[in-house]
Amino acid sequence: MTLRPDKAVALETTLPALGLPPGEGLPFTRELGGIIRGLDAEPAVVGVLAGEPIVGMTDAQLAEMLDGRPVAKANTANLGVLMHRRADAATTVSATMELAAGAGVRVFATGGIGGVHKGYGQHLDISADLAALARFPVAVVASGTKSLLDVVSTREALETLGVPVVGFRCDRFPAFYLRESGAPIDARFDDEADLAAFVRAELDRTGRGVLVCNPIPEHDEIPAPVFGAWLAEAERRCADAGGRDITPCILAALHEISGGETLRANLALVRDNARLASRMAACMSDYTAEG
């Protein structure tokens, strides 16, 4: 079956491969596919198998990637080398955007984008996701940036890169498990069709990306002081992790420390982002009922 890029919602593979506990990635990605199809859009799971970049992985291909063996994490920096070396690779937001854009897919649902890490070490650590938003014409629907990052600096970096940051039914930049942070957004949208019309025009006008912020559903939010205590403990446990291993280490530690609460919240917000992305894709589609 060929992918209809106009109706497609891209999904990344770093979240199921490295952001969720082993064994949960496959059923969860299937569940997202069902949500997306139920809203008249098409899931397009993005990843790399034996060096081949795929936009619209089959169930069997995804199962092969998530078979338990360690899989590389690809951003826009190391994607090409992993392809050259015929590796399997899970794509982060940045690599997923690059491949999705190449296939004409304009909407992508995830949890939270990468961003500016806190200064654990003495060095800058800024996710390639931010530059990718300024380079590839894809709308990323996310619950802001992961609360384990420096949220305000991440928001400032998006401003510096000139990335439009719009909110769906929110007034502040969301921070993953928390519905809001102290940082602002560029504009609020309350109507899905209006949001989709803006995004479509903006992608065409600029050839660059847009960040659509959708806060975690209210009843899934984690109270800020509770999250702060869990995060402090997770940071202690991951003090020795570096570079690309920091995010997976902290997410796994949080899931353990919170007794699964952060995992439940993470899954809930991704599902909700998949719903909004699907409704946007359906609005943005060029296809008529006859196809």
Site string for ligand PSU, 249-278 (x = CB under 6 A): --x--------------x------------
Q: Which residue in 93, 116, 140, 199 binds ligand PSU (CB under 6 A)? A: 93
Binding to ligand PSU (CB under 6 A) within 126-155 occurs at 127-129
Candidate ranges 36-44, 181-189, 228-236, 243-251; the one touching ligand PSU (CB under 6 A) = 243-251
Can 73 be counted among the known catalytic residues?
Answer: no
**Taken in order 159, 162, 163, 166, is the CA torsion positive or negative?**
positive
Signed CA dihedral, 63, 68, 69, 74: sign only? positive
Is residue 235 flagged as an active site residue?
Answer: no
Q: Residue 102 Cβ, how far from ligand PSU at the closest point, in Å?
A: 17
Q: Please choose which of ligand PSU, Mn ion, none residue 209 contacts, taking the beta carbon within 5 to 8 angstroms, the exact cut-off set by kind.
A: none
Fill in the per-residue mask, 50 to 79: x = in contact with ligand PSU (CB under 6 A), - = not in contact.
-------------------------x----
d(CA 205, CA 45) in angstroms, rounded, equals 26
Among 247, 273, 278, 285, binds ligand PSU (CB under 6 A): 247
29 binds, among ligand PSU, Mn ion, none (CB under 5 to 8 A by kind): none
Which amino acid does the sequence have at 133? L
Of 7, 12, 98, 180, catalytic: 12
Binding track over 119-138 against Mn ion, x by CB under 5 A: ------x-------------
**H helices within the chain, ranges in order?**
14, 25-38, 59-65, 79-84, 93-102, 128-133, 151-160, 192-206, 224-237, 246-257, 261-284
Query: How far is it, in rounded angstroms, from Cα 253 to Cα 44?
Result: 29
Min separation Cβ 125 and Mn ion, Å:
4
162: left (phi over 0), alpha (psi -120 to 50) or beta: left
Task: Indicate the pairing of strand 210-213 with strand 139-142.
Answer: parallel
Nearer to ligand PSU, 110 or 278 (CB): 110
Radius of gyration of the chain (CA): 17
* Residues 180-219, mask of contacts with ligand PSU (x by CB under 6 A): ----------------------------------------
Single out the catalytic residue among 42, 98, 146, 221. Answer: 146
CA angle 107, 65, 240 (to 5 degrees): 90
53 binds, among Mn ion, ligand PSU, none (CB under 5 to 8 A by kind): none
**3-state class (DSSP) for residue 8:** strand
Helix, strand, coil shares of the chain, percent, nearest 5, are: 45, 15, 35
Instruction: Please state, in angstroms and rounded to a whole number, the distance separating the CA atoms of residues 84 and 166.
Output: 37
Contact by Cβ (8 Å): 14, 91: yes
- Contacting ligand PSU (CB under 6 A), which of 5, 8, 11, 19? 19
Catalytic residue list: 12, 146
Write out the residues near ligand PSU by the rule CB under 6 A: 12, 14-15, 18-19, 75, 92-93, 110-112, 114, 127-129, 244, 247, 251, 266
